Amino acid sequence: MNALKKTLSLLTLAGLTAAFVPLYAQQATTAPANQPGARAGRGGRGGRGAPIPVDPKADARLKTQGNVGARVHDPSTIIECDGEYWTFYTGQGVGSWHSKDLTNWVAGPRVFAAAPAWVPENVPGHRGADFWAPDVAKIGDRYVLFYAASSFGKNTSAIGVAFNPTLNPAAPNFKWTDQGMVIKSGQGTDYNAIDPAIFQDTDKSLWLAFGSFWSGIRMIQLDPATCKRIKPDSPVYLLAHYSSIEAAYLYKHDGHYYLFMNWGACCRGTNSTYNIRVGRADKVTGPYLDKTGTDLRNGGGTLVLGTDGDFIGPGHAGIITKGGQEFMSMHFYDGARGGASELAIRPVSWSPDGWPIVGERK
């Protein structure tokens, strides 16, 4: 299965998964019927890839839909350091891209050369340093990156954390230092500890949302000093549930807490059905309700962004503010380039009743 996983990672970014994934999922999935199957094959190899001839009109349209041409899957929230914007993504060693203007992106260094020792001890089905769906934030005076390791088709998973005083690789103090495991799942738990999403509230309390399929999106409180669980037996809150749910992201706007998440299937190129949903709450722990008042724990979720022409299956939302304008980052599958997974960045505004609206770039 590891060979298949690596092959699918390459195929996703090359835009060739559409025909391959259904067979892969049928032959290799061991999870229950309503749990993730081919999801373990998330593409994540960075780089712009070989040029694919694209109709100029299709390319122009995709640029208005936010395409910036960087090959990523499961991008982290974008963060600024020393005048550059950074994002990290699924793949060997956790890759990165950086930009001065959110439009022109350059490949950056990887976080890990090898997997930390705790990973095979706690996730024996995981091989190498192919980590999933990282997220990054500045907590205090350091940059903190969360990442996930998992076993194919199971909830034997764990989330780890690493620190760096800077994201600038030219700085003399640039060095990622792994801090170990934050939380794990497996036998005895009904959730899946992947897709970490870090959130620091205005009172400096620190929270980690996570989860994929299984029992849905969960959340724990962290100690801001260590970025580990605040207590070994602290509550594991349930925020949202749906038959196909993952990729949580928490954001605070105008006194409300917003939980973004994905419904549908990723990693299938042009056949991907990912779409971004949202609910909001008055407390970080919920309950989160959608626009109709339906609790996200009961299947609620207002559509934010879905497939639109060659802009297919957007996922893993994050929001950054630049020059007073909020922007949402995400990956999508590029229908004009065979389903290659790429980074998109689009402006965000808010309706009079306080719901996010994702626009287009001019």
The pLDDT value given to residue 171 = 98
Residue 146 has pLDDT above 60, yes or no: yes
Reply yes or no on whether 74 is catalytic.
yes
Task: Identify whether 308 is a catalytic site residue.
Answer: no
Which 3 state secondary structure label does DSSP give 234? coil
Residue 4 phi, psi dihedral angles, 5° rounding: -65, -40
Whole-prediction pTM value?
0.89
Query: Cα(88)–Cα(188) distance, rounded to whole angstroms?
Result: 31
Q: What is the CATH number of the domain that holds 68?
A: 2.115.10.20
First to last CA, the chain: 44
What's the rounded Cα separation, in Å, for the pair 294 and 196? 24
| Number of compact structural domains in the chain | 1
Model pLDDT, residue 47: 53
More confident residue, 172 or 30: 172
The rounded mean pLDDT for the chain is 89
Ramachandran angles phi, psi of 13, nearest 5°: -75, -25
Catalytic-role residue among 74, 130, 135, 342? 74
Instruction: Return the minimum-mean-pLDDT range out of 16-20, 272-276, 294-298, 354-358.
Output: 16-20
Mean pLDDT of 156-174: 98
Beta-ladder partners of 343: 331
Q: How far apart are CA 241 and CA 286, in angstroms?
A: 13
Pairing of strands 95-99, 91-92: unpaired
CA 355/CA 345 separation, integer angstroms: 18
Contact 248, 256 (CB under 8 A): no
- Name residue, tokens 């760096």: 164
Query: Residue 5: pLDDT band by 50, 70, 90 thresholds?
Result: very low
266, 272 in Cβ contact below 8 A?
yes
With cut-offs at 50, 70 and 90, classify the pLDDT of residue 331: very high
β-sheet bridge partners, residue 88: 96
Which candidate, 166, 231, 197, 158, places its Cα nearest to that of 75? 197
**CB neighbours of 95 closer than 8 A, spacing ≥ 6?**
44, 45, 46, 72, 88, 89, 107, 108, 110
Tell me the C-alpha distance between 68 and 328, whole Å: 13
Half-sphere exposure of 278 (CA within 13 A, CB side): 24
Q: Which of 179, 110, 166 is nearest to 138 (CA)?
A: 166
Range of the domain at 303: 2-358
Q: Predicted confidence band at 28 (pLDDT cuts at 50, 70, 90)?
A: very low
Give the active site residue among 135, 195, 246, 290.
Answer: 246
Listed range (31-35, 69-73, 319-323) with the worst mean pLDDT = 31-35
